[in-house]
Amino acid sequence: MKPTLSRDALRIDPEAVANTIAKRLEETVRRVLHRKGAVVGISGGIDSAVTTALCARALGPECVQGLFTPERDSSEETLRLSRAVADSQGVSAILEDITPILEAARCYERRDEFFKKAIPEYGPGWKAKIVLPSVVEGDQYRIFSIVAFSPDGQTIKKRLPLEAYLGVVASTNFKQRTRKMLEYYHADRLHFCVAGTPNRLEYDQGFFVKGGDGLADFKPIAHLYKTQVYELAAYLGIPEEVRKRPPTTDTYSMPQGQDEFYFSLPYAQMDLCLYAKNHGYSPAEVAKVLELEPVQIERVYRDIDGKRRTTRYLHQKALLLDAVPELVLDVPSFA
């Protein structure tokens, strides 16, 4: 019989989990990937911080190359918190401001052209982000809107037409792909591999850019719920300021929480919903713990299934149209 669901369901023994991951990480990097170290893109967020700490624990800090890749729209805190993470783990890091690359690729210009299709007044000095309606408050389809803030203090919210939505996403994806290009540049230069930083919520729900932050040689925390990543962070000595920072996309010029951009609920509630769904708990059992209505959890469950379905493409490797049986790839013994 399943235990009664509670918020404690996600509790872990951080020391045991850190030791298991470190052992597997070393085996993966050294014996399977045949590399001596790893490059980690450090964003100042909790996931890259824990990934950095686990790599340092497994491979030694001298075999971890941190990379800071802020750009024009990054929060002012990003670089300072990223440095705090690297310092706390004794990892050296390189600063690569990616703004000039993004300008050369016309990332900002292209994005703003698509913003203008929704809001013709949008121009220099404006700030904007894209948001989704809450899934728990109704059955409405989750269609992105743009929220724009003018230099004179006016806020405009409008539904994004199809062409503008696709264009904004395509333009901003330059950021994640540029970061990954630089991570692989440094990995190739050092004969290292690249660590991916998604937690389970992000990995399961497809919250990543294909060929951007979704691209990596190994993903050491992809099986951990975000709540567990926070627990591990405290054990691994991640600075408190980083542990207290609300999850953010750090992608748009206006501050944007991950829950308004992608997930149905704040991460702690979303984590429990995902855990409960994965372990066969009913919406009514989850609703009791989260003090929500069962119908709201049913919507979250449907949203989880919907995202799994619609983001399969992101997880797909390049598909072959006929077999090449001679190519056999190594996989870790525990995978």
Partner 1 sequence: MDDVEGAVRKFIAENFVMADELAKLANDASFLETGIIDSTGVLTLLTFIEDTYGITVDDAEMIPENLDSIERISAFVRRKKAA
Near partner 1 by CB under 8 A: residue from 14, 133, 239, 294:
133
Helix (H) or strand (E) holding 326: none
Establish if 306 lies at the interface with partner 1 (CB under 8 A).
Answer: yes
Q: Does 117 bind partner 1 (CB under 8 A)?
A: no
Nearer residue to partner 1 within complex by CB, 13 or 305: 305
Mapped onto helix, strand or coil, the DSSP state of residue 74 is coil
Distance of CA 148 to the CA centre of its chain: 24
Closest contact distance (angstroms) between CB of 165 and partner 1 is 6
Cβ–Cβ < 8 Å for 254, 127 = yes
Q: How far is the CB of 84 from partner 1 (least distance, A)?
A: 37
Q: Which among 190-198, 249-257, 304-312, 327-335 is the span making contact with partner 1, rule CB under 8 A?
A: 304-312
Give the residue with the Cβ less far from partner 1, 20 or 140: 140
Residues that bind partner 1 (rule: CB under 8 A) add up to a total of: 18
Q: Contact between 159 and partner 1 (CB under 8 A)? A: yes
Closest CB to partner 1 among residues 2, 308: 308
Sign of CA dihedral 279, 280, 282, 285: negative
Angle, vertex CA 133, rays to CA 130 and CA 49, nearest 5 = 60
What gap in Å lies between CA 165 and CA 143, rounded to an integer?
A: 9
Residue 315 is a binding residue for partner 1 (CB under 8 A): no
Residue-level length of the chain: 335
Of 143 and 284, the one with the shorter C-beta distance to partner 1 is 143
Say whether residue 156 binds partner 1 (CB under 8 A). no
- Piece of 48-56, 121-129, 132-140, 290-298 that binds partner 1 (CB under 8 A): 132-140
8 Å CB contact between 2 and 280? yes
Nearer to partner 1, 72 or 117 (CB): 117
Six-digit token string for 165 = 């939505």
| 60: contact with partner 1 by CB under 8 A | no
Containing 152, the helix (H) or strand (E) segment is none
Encoded tokens for 204: 């399961």
Vertex 232: Cα angle to 40 and 201 (nearest 5): 70
Select from 106, 189, 191, 309 the one that contacts partner 1 (CB under 8 A). 309
Q: How far is the CB of 299 from partner 1 (least distance, A)?
A: 11
User: Chain centroid to CA 238: how far?
Assistant: 18
Residue in 101, 65, 318 with CA at minimum distance from that of residue 215 = 318
Q: Tell me how far, at minimum, the Cβ of 132 lies from partner 1, in Å.
A: 9
Q: Which residues pair with 248 in a beta bridge?
A: 257
Q: Is 142 in the site for partner 1 (CB under 8 A)?
A: yes
For the bound state, the minimum distance from the C-beta of residue 192 to partner 1, rounded and expressed in Å, comes to: 36
Give the 3-state secondary structure of residue 63.
helix
**Structure-token pair, residue 265:** 């609920």
Q: Considering the rule CB under 8 A, would residue 266 count as an interface residue with partner 1?
A: no
Per-residue contact track with partner 1, 161 to 180, x per CB under 8 A?
A: xx--xx--------------
Q: Applying CB under 8 A, which part among 22-30, 153-161, 196-204, 222-230 lies near partner 1?
A: 153-161
- C-beta of 127 vs 302, nearer to partner 1: 302
Q: Give the helix/strand (H/E) hosting 107.
A: helix 107-118
70: three-class secondary structure by DSSP = coil
Residues making contact with partner 1 (CB under 8 A): 133, 138-144, 159-162, 165-166, 302, 306, 309-310
